[in-house]
Amino acid sequence: MTEKQHITIKGVKDGLIFLLDDNCEFSALLDELQYKLEKSHQQLLTGPIVHVQVKLGTRLINEEEKERIKATIRQQGNLLVQTIESEARVEAKPEDGNNIKLLTGIVRSGQTVEHDGNLLLMGDVNPGGTVMCTGDIYVLGALRGLAHAGFKGEKNAVIAASLLRPTQLRIDDVISRPPDEWMTGDAMMEFAFLSEGVMKIDKMTQLQRLRKLPVLFRA
pLDDT tens per residue, the chain (219 residues)?
445 688 888 888 888 888 988 888 888 889 998 888 887 666 666 678 888 889 988 777 777 888 888 888 888 778 888 888 877 554 444 444 456 888 888 898 888 999 889 999 999 999 999 999 999 999 999 999 999 999 999 999 999 999 999 999 999 999 987 666 666 667 788 999 998 899 998 888 888 777 655 444 443
Strands 118-122 and 79-85 turn out to be: unpaired
d(CA 217, CA 219): 7
For residue 32, the 8-state DSSP code is H
**Interior angle at CA 153, CA 176 and CA 112, nearest 5:** 65
Closest CA to 201 of 172, 159, 168: 159
| Residue 79 φ/ψ, nearest 5 degrees | -95, 130
Angle between helices 63-74 and 26-35 (to 10 degrees): 10
Q: From the CA atom positions of the chain, what is the Rg in Å?
A: 20
